[in-house]
Structure 1
Amino acid sequence: MKFTNILSTQKKLFFMFLIVALLPLLTLGVISYMQSTKVVNGKLSNYNQFSGEKIKTELNQILVDMYYGTAAIQQYLADNTSINLKHQKPETYWDFKVANNLERLLQAHEKSNIRGIYVITSSGYYYGNYSFKVDQFKKLELWKRGFRSGNTEIGIYKPNHYRYNDLQYALGLLVPLKFSYGVLNDSFLFIETDLDSLFDSMNLLEEDLHSRISIRDETGKLLYQTKSDEQDLKDDVVWKEYTHINNWELEIRVPRDAFYQSSNVIFKIVLIGILVAFFLALILSYIFSNQFTKRILNLKFAMEEVSKGVFEKKVSFHTKDEIGKLGLHFNRMVDRIKQLMEEVRQKELMKREAEMKAIHYQINPHLLFNTLNTIQWKARLDGNEEIGKMLLHLTKVLEGNLDFTIELIPLKKEIEAIKHFLIIQELRFGSHFTFSLKMDDRIEQGLIPRMTIQPMLENIFFHAFEDGKGNIELEITRTKGYFQLALKDNGKGMSQDKLNTLFLKPNEKVRGGIGLSNVKQKFYIHYGNDYLISVNSVVNQGTVISISWPIRWGGHYDE
């Protein structure tokens, strides 16, 4: 109090205006920085995680193709009636004929990403693509390890054993052939896969985010590592993925400074903005504090209101002097804050819309594939009348599924959509199931998230019924401000473990259903936590799914 008493009124006004002007700007700057860094870092994290899963999936598919192809060829070669060569290198007409069949077999197992499949005999002669340089191949460390140990070997390397080499990286699998008969005993089966596409994806991560990627086999042996002088640190941001077939580890490591580089840039920009705002406020406070009028009190009151969060308060000065300009700048500041707040709100709405679209893009393919297969089957056995009917109802179903413009629809439209779906199922399975609906006509205009019931019906036909046989009961009622939906079937039922994961989004550890997890996410997006989904099931007796959500009306509704 003593300090403020010795200050002049001009200085008091100067400090007051300075504080009131800076507090909203500092608060907005901090909030903007925190929200911006949260969004940017979240997107970077999702980008790295998605890229890691993509690389893992592609690598896992490559390994599956190689191991399955190897097993099929080994099984064929193990049959002495299939490949009965007299000499390792064909010398007779019979040998050339059998060798031709063997090379056709190898070519038949070559898929788009498999560069070549070869059988290398103990004498050094090989069967397979003629561009293969076996002498150069035997210089590879992969061959040396497999030849010395007599065990299966797999590795990543840069191939140079082709006459026309256009590969940067390849994955090779060398498998010894152990037979008790025939000239192919003690030979090796070699499968090589093109990894250029996989490494293109890895290079994008390495270049964009300075990531370091390593691949290790199930024993921990390093198969590939990004060339880098940087050392692994404890504060590095790390993602790990594991292949399903042989538990290879894919590690993506990003230095902390590189990962948070965008956050540092945002921080500098916000800091510069705060400093600029500070100096502007300092200058304006000094200029406008020279005036002593009643209008200053009005301006002070308006500032106090703004500091409390009342942004509708504005000052009305009709003069063009310093205080009038101060009032004008103050009003612009309030408008800018309101505009920024509106922009934040719009961004949240756009984020919500994007989440909804992301959910709807995950269309469950079971209905489409099963229906098309049924149409194909019907086309072979019957005429075209029934196919036309099926196509009509399929079109109606797809029209509803692919309309992303409306998120909440009346119950009447949702029921109409599932009726088309049930007609398709009847054409598919025949009249082996029954469906009953109980719903008061007065709640037909009640709103429900689009495509809520159909995924649950798909789950019944796909998991609960055998050959489409069973009974389905759907009841929708209205009680105490909420709609109540109960979907009951007398199918197989499910265990408690399956119930616990029924509405969860599937991942490596949890197997749920995309359609059912989307149902739950839609209710959460539209109603927050003000909804309830419960499932009761008894094995071999059936399942009841119950959903409760707040009442909303669409169209014209007369209470």
Structure 2
Amino acid sequence: MRAYLRWWHDRSIRFKLNCIFLLIILISILTLSFWGIRTYSSYSENQADQSTLQMIHQVESNVDYYIDHLKDVQHYISQDPEVAKFMQMKGQEPSKDEVARIDKTLSMYTERNKEIMGIMLVNKSGIFTSHDMFRITRDSLVEETWFQDALKAPSETMIISNPIGRNVSTSQNYSSYDVLSLVHAVVDPQTEEVLGVVLMDLRMDMIKSIFENVKLGKSGFMYILDHKGNIVYAPTNDIVYRIQGKWLPDGSQGSLTQQIKGHDYRILFNDSATNKWRFIGVIPNDDYQRVITDIQLYTLIVTFITIVLASLLSAYFTGTLIRPIRKLMSLMSHVKNGELNQRFVSETKDEIGQLGNSFNHMLEEINNLINVVYMEQKKKREAELQVLQAQIKPHFLYNTLDTIQWMAQEYEADDIIEVIGALTNLFRIGLNRGNEWIPVRDEVKHAESYMIIQMSRYMDKLDFKFDIPEHLYSYHVLKLILQPLIENAIYHGIKARTGKGKISICAEQESDLICFRITDDGAGIPPEKLEEINQILRGEKMREDEYGIGLFNVNERIQLTYGTAYGIQIYSVLGKGTTVEIKHPMVQVVKKTG
């Protein structure tokens, strides 16, 4: 766990922000998706049940309207005068004219109502007449079950489905499953005595067409049971005959889920108050699940697309937040390498913009402090140089005058003039009207003047040579950078050796800098001391009092002016000699005119 936390803490801010954003988005989307699917599943089931019940009600209304219309037709037939007269006949058959008139009336109704297959009139005496219907055997129709049931309930119209086993048939070739019978008793309005029964056979085509126009889901269906639990109408489907009546709870309306042949089915029913029929709708649960599965698939697709878009937006917005931070980090890296001229440019005033402004202010303060320190160090070095010059001038002037006196005794006046001329050049160039930079030509001349004076003292001890290319003379260097080093070569190199020594002063161009080399074949420097001196020159170690200030003063002046990439490096072999190398930038000074 700690390793994981350490790994997490070491990740970039952008990575952490992206992970946090994606985690929040995933939790939100997955929670909404899971909750939405569950809610929609429950809601869709309820809506499907409500929709199915509405369709059942609609079918029920259409069927009731159809049956009620036929009941009205049956009632009109029973109220017809010819039919009423026929019902009151006792023991005598109707005449052919009477039969023809009744047949004409019945034909009129069958022609107007194509669903009527046939109509039969039977009075209590057993006399009957019909249109497209006939008695199968000679047995009296009065003894038929449908006739007796109608006598027992004269105020009701009985509906008989699948009329099997009766002594009546029609001239049309239909099976009992395609027939629905309506039975209605004819009552004397004055005596309320039952006079007979009107039997009407109907085709199931009308009811079938109503059901065929209704679709429950993709593979659902509807069927009808009568009050005895017999099937009034059902489509061709073996599931119908596997539904047991005991599954259906009591009540006029309800629903349940039942497994049939290994599949779950949703069963909904509603009872008709008009016909005492039960209208039942059956829908496979697979139809429900198919819709829910489609919704789940669409939800997953939308979720995936949303996550992808959210990831892109998260990457974009975190990029806009991290980009200025990375820019600030890059600037800090440059500042770390010494590039203090960097500045953070921000177009916003948010926390990052304020941080950038503070960064800029910090750099301004650092630059100001560096300038202050530089000016203080420069003034300090100038003061040290002035002190050095003040120390050198009286001592050097004394020795020079002593030499002049000695030469006046030993040599002729021309030599004295040469030394005095060299001394004059030395002072003139050294002062240089207070200017810090002088041409290479003047710096070399200053060094030559110094060597002329020293040669007058160490003629048998010292020899020197200048090798300076002419094209370097026009460039400018800091003044008095060669003379202190030549002086060190004389006093610490040549004087410490036995015999005559030689000093060589040369220069060459290396890329964009001038490299001066002062080489002597004197005593050399021990390796440990050489390394210590170079460390002091590189700024890796503090200078101790045992070392003079001339060498280090020249090095510090160059580095303070041009940077640590320039300055002095010493190479030496003990007993063989020393080379002091000066690296100075190539500087062109344009003189102002006017």
TM-score range normalised by the length of the shorter chain? 0.3 to 0.5
| TM-score w.r.t. length of structure 1 | 0.39
Whose relative contact order is higher, 1 or 2, with alpha carbons under 8 Å and at least 6 apart? 1
| TM-score w.r.t. length of structure 2 | 0.37
Q: Which structure has the larger Rg?
A: 2
